[in-house]
Structure 1
Amino acid sequence: MFPSILKSSKPKPPPQNFRASRPEQPVELAEQDVWALPPNVYWAATAPANKPAPNWLRMVCISDTHNTTDANNYPVPEADILVHAGDFTKMGTTAQIDQFICWLKSLTHIPIKVVVAGNHEVILDKEFYEKHWHRFHTTKEDHETAVNKLKSAGHGIIYLNNEPYTVDGAKLLHKKHQKQKKQSSTNITTKHVDTTGVADMDIDAPAVLDPREGWVEGYRIWASPWQPEFWEWAFNEVRGKLKDIWKHIPEDTDILMTHGPPKYHGDIVPQDKELHVGCEELLERLKVVRPLYHVFGHIHQGYGVSEIEWDGGSHSTVCINASSCTESYRPLNRPIIVDLPPK
């Protein structure tokens, strides 16, 4: 996230204190705010227990967790996919990356976790880290080791850096279905054995339907950690030059993940006179790609959901600022849930 708006060319040292400076409460959601959300998009506490049908995917969106989340203070609901839009560490050390991976591995109720870096993951930006490591770390750490930790973590963890990943919904759901069938079979018990020796069986768990029906292709994700430059943090680029990165976003992208927001969507910094700090070049690329969903974070105060309508409202891109932490780095913003139909 941006500490404040740039007022000079001198780099600002990174913050050293991530404790809350003042009491904060979770975002309160009025009933009308809940109903104003796009179809099949929910705040975590308001999502229905079940997906619309077994062959739908449930995606949970989070971002900017900054090593503050655990099972006790930040419950993540059951889903098929988790997407994390960056800033998962405080200062981008390998130890903090290990801590994040350990937390992701604990989310055994979510088989796929797609992750992109943010400006706080300084060690993952090789060129930047070579020049500026001393501003963030007392001793220089190894970039390749940090990257390999994420790429080889297993447990369904997918680390992306300006690259695509396709979620094979049929394969994912069928694998989950097979696991549920196996678990259900353990609930089969002998209820009564009659005098002929024939057993009446009682199945405690309901039958689970195979959810592959309706799937033709998967959801195409493309993810990037870059955002407009600010105070010389990682994955920063000069405004106006980001179009050289965004031009690589495939036009058939369904779910776009970037660390920073597009301009005018989840990008307001209130303490700086309601200034929009999102990327204008990213917004221009969105007009071409028109993904179904754009998930990001970076601006903690911009947490929430908005829509960009195309062609007079015939279709739209749902923009999700999924920042989990508040401005003072407390994980009070709940995950945002999306139910995805077969594709």
Structure 2
Amino acid sequence: MSAPSSTPPRPTRRTRIVCIGDTHNGTVKLPKGDVLIHAGDLTNQGSYSELSKAVQWLEKADFEAKIVIAGNHDITLDGDFYSRHGSSFHNQNPQDPAKCLSLFTSSRTITYLQQSSATIRLTHPEGPGTEFTVFGSPYSPEYGTCAFTYPRPEQEAEASEPDSTAVAAGPSAAELWAAVPLTTDIVVTHTPAYTHCDDTYGCKDLRTRLAAVRPRLHVCGHVHQSRGAERVRWDTGGLSAGDQAATEISVEPWEDPSPDPTSAKISLVDLTARGRKRALDFYDPGPAPPGVQTGCEPADPAPGPESSDIVVGSGDPSGRDGDPCPGQPDHPVDRAGRRETCVVNCAIVASGWPHPGGKRFNKPIVVDIDLPVWR
């Protein structure tokens, strides 16, 4: 057993993350924030024209960091898929997948993730000065002829039968989600995990991987009717190093008190110490050394129900608190101490095809979260 580190815990500061997904060629008024996350399906059919308009809109958005993944409708960004099925979508006007992808990879303001990770460090002198690691993936379980899909478990089993003519194309779900690093702070996927902000379309293997990684935040979309948020608490007793999956203790759903998309009030999920009397305790660092504060309780805690750890309100429009909070756990921390994940499905289009009664739309979901200060 290694000796405890003498390095003092790093301070944290509130960071505002605006979450959107499934915009499908639309734009939406974006609240102020530090980080913008788009969880895929920027377009309907992934043409260069559609993607170009989406990129122009995102590049104009005033955020210090903008994290974007693709979805199953952004078909030209999946080169392998487009080489096989592109003519079914763009028969009269074939698109150039490399040119479409370059819209994102050449952007100076967008961090495009395609089954990959990044460390985001906010450096603007007027920003919160925080950092986090993020993994992004565009994949979702197979549903019709769409990009970035993988076989569902029953399809894999069928394809493995000796007399089967079925073909399980591409990587398996388990292989895809094994790529999520265990130290990831924020996971962004197009698909939800099974039963978490989901309507039975989500992925069971992703749910298993989230139980092992236990990120602070999981942002997804894809299932329009399941827009919302919930916090998943984990039983980490007896877990040690490695990729062991924790057991879920409880799931607490979040209710948006102002879902009207025309309302000026933001849909806020407050995961900071300021949003409650004590911090949410995503991490359980164990007993604190003498003289070290383990909770970050403000002098004037924001009013709100003591029984809820997800608080909804308009919040400070600046998106930050000011001075960092001392005494929070160091970063990264022992995964065995991660006790909670907040799941956010941020689909903007609220209805599914063929949109009975017409398209309906949701507001962005805003997440305030305490992240470690890197300075």
Length-normalised TM-score, structure 2: 0.61
Structure 1 counterpart of 2:341, which letter? T
- Report the Cα offset of residue 222 of structure 1: 0.2
SS in 2 for 1:105: helix
Query: Is 2:374 aligned against 1:340?
Result: no
Matched letter for residue 256 of structure 1: V
- Mapped partners of 2:232, 2:68: distance in 1: 24
8 Å CA contact 1:68, 1:331 repeated in 2: no
Unaligned runs of 5+ in 2: 1-10, 154-171, 236-248, 251-283, 285-338
Provide the secondary structure at the position in 2 that maps to 1:251. coil
Tell me the SS of whatever aligns to 1:56.
strand
Q: Contact 1:116 / 1:223 at 8 angstroms: preserved in 2?
A: yes
Q: In structure 1, what is the equivalent of residue 23 of structure 2?
A: 65
Aligned partner of 2:77 in structure 1 is 124
- Paired residues of 1:92 and 1:120 also in contact (CA < 8 A): yes
Instruction: Tell me how far apart the structure 2 counterparts of residues 140 and 308 of structure 1 sit (CA, whole Å).
Output: 44
Q: Is the 8 A contact 2:19 2:366 kept in 1?
A: yes
CA offsets 1:251-308 (integer angstroms, 9 cap, x no match): 001100000100001221xxxxxxx111001001111101011000001001001122
Separation in 1 of the partners of 2:136 and 2:176? Answer: 11
* Residue identity opposite 1:337 in structure 2: V
- The separation in 1 between residues aligned to 2:369 and 2:72, in whole angstroms, is 29
- Number of aligned pairs? 238
Q: Which runs of 5+ in 1 are unaligned?
A: 1-52, 178-210, 269-275
In the other structure, the counterpart of 1:245 is 176
Q: Percent identity?
A: 34
Distance 1:86 1:331 in 2: 18
Give 3-state SS (helix, strand or coil) of 1:342's partner: strand
Partner Cα distance (2:360, 2:24) in 1: 9
Letter in 2 for 1:306: E
Q: Does 1:101 align with 2:55?
A: yes
Partner residue of 1:258? 189
Tell me which residue corresponds to 2:29: 75
Offset at residue 166 of structure 1 (A): 1.3
Q: Which residue of 1 aligns with 2:100?
A: 146
Q: Closer, same or farther in 2 for the Cα pair 1:147/1:82, shift >3 Å? A: same
Determine the structure 2 residue equivalent to 1:224.
Answer: 137
Matched AA of 1:232: T
Q: Deviations over 1:74-107 (max 9, x none)?
A: 2101111000000001110011010001111221
SS of the residue 1:264 aligns to = coil
Calculate the TM-score normalised by the size of structure 1: 0.66
Partner in structure 2 of residue 300 of structure 1: 224
Q: Does 1:284 align with 2:208?
A: yes
**Match in the other structure for 2:149:** 236
2:271 aligns to what?
Answer: none
Q: Which amino acid aligns with 2:134?
A: I
Quick check: which one's helix share is greater?
1
